[in-house]
Chains A and B, each alone.
Chain A
Amino acid sequence: NAGVTQTPKFQVLKTGQSMTLQCAQDMNHEYMSWYRQDPGMGLRLIHYSVGAGITDQGEVPNGYNVSRSTTEDFPLRLLSAAPSQTSVYFCASSYGRGGETQYFGPGTRLLVL
């Protein structure tokens, strides 16, 4: 198993550009989520999904969209990038919710100029 994979590893954007961060898992996990990690702020939940076709907002959803058309993939879209979205983004997945270990991808470093 590849586990949780994320692409790209690093991206530079200009303010106003859009892009999609890709996340995929091959463990047949139902639960997937996106976090952002900022210095002094820890990890904060952006969006999550409890199964294909079901998504919901986390703590910091503004400026981000998600969709879950398949169990394997959970892309995160930045509609109009802002410097405040400069961060490291992590995707995670788990078999279920509540009491299940979440497995994390290697992260995407995003710089918005």
Chain B
Amino acid sequence: SQELEQSPQSLIVQEGKNLTINCTSSKTLYGLYWYKQKYGEGLIFLMMLQKGGEEKSHEKITAKLDEKKQQSSLHITASQPSHAGIYLCGADDGGSQGNLIFGKGTKLSVKP
């Protein structure tokens, strides 16, 4: 079965610093989703990547899917306290039903 591994598990950065979160799959990715979760709240959709080499940006967050479609990275530029939370990557499990599997998440803390 497909597994998603996220690194690092947790991250503490100073406000204004850049950071990168990685998501590595054991199999080819056919759809990779990035979500953000604040404590006690639901998941907020950030971006979806489908094509090898694809890159998408929203405000100060950029997500990339590598050419081989087995790894994705999420990069935050000039981090702010509002970026704090848990970032989860999710992927289509490759079945016909469109179910998602998720990584275990990366907890980001931003120190003011």
| B residues in contact (CB < 8 Å) with A | 30-31, 33, 35, 40-45, 48, 50, 88, 90, 92, 96-105
Q: Which of A33, A90, A99, A104 contacts B99 (CB 8 A)?
A: A33
Give the interface size class of chain A.
20 to 34
Shortest distance between the CB of A39 and any CB in chain B (Å): 9
Q: What are the residues of chain B within 8 A of A92 when measuring CB–CB?
A: 43
Q: What are the residues of chain B within 8 A of A106 when measuring CB–CB?
A: 41-42
Question: Which of B92, B100, B105 is the most central at the interface, judged by chain A CB atoms within 10 Å of its CB?
Answer: B100
Q: What are the residues of chain A within 8 A of B40 when measuring CB–CB?
A: 107, 109
> What are 27 pairs between A and B in contact, CB < 8 Å?
A33-B99, A33-B100, A40-B104, A41-B104, A42-B88, A42-B103, A43-B88, A44-B102, A45-B101, A48-B97, A50-B97, A50-B98, A58-B99, A96-B98, A97-B98, A98-B30, A98-B92, A98-B98, A99-B92, A100-B98, A101-B48, A102-B33, A102-B90, A102-B100, A103-B45, A104-B35, A109-B40
Q: A90-B42, A90-B43, A106-B41 are in contact. Are A99 and B102 (CB under 8 A)?
A: no
| A31 on interface, CB distance cutoff 8 Å | yes
| A residues in contact (CB < 8 Å) with B | 4, 31, 33, 35, 40-45, 48, 50, 56, 58, 90, 92, 94, 96-107, 109
Task: Give the docked Cα–Cα distance between A44 and B50 (Å).
Answer: 22
Question: Which of A35, A98, A100, A103 is the most central at the interface, judged by chain B CB atoms within 10 Å of its CB?
Answer: A98
Question: Which of B30, B35, B104 is the most central at the interface, judged by chain A CB atoms within 10 Å of its CB?
Answer: B104
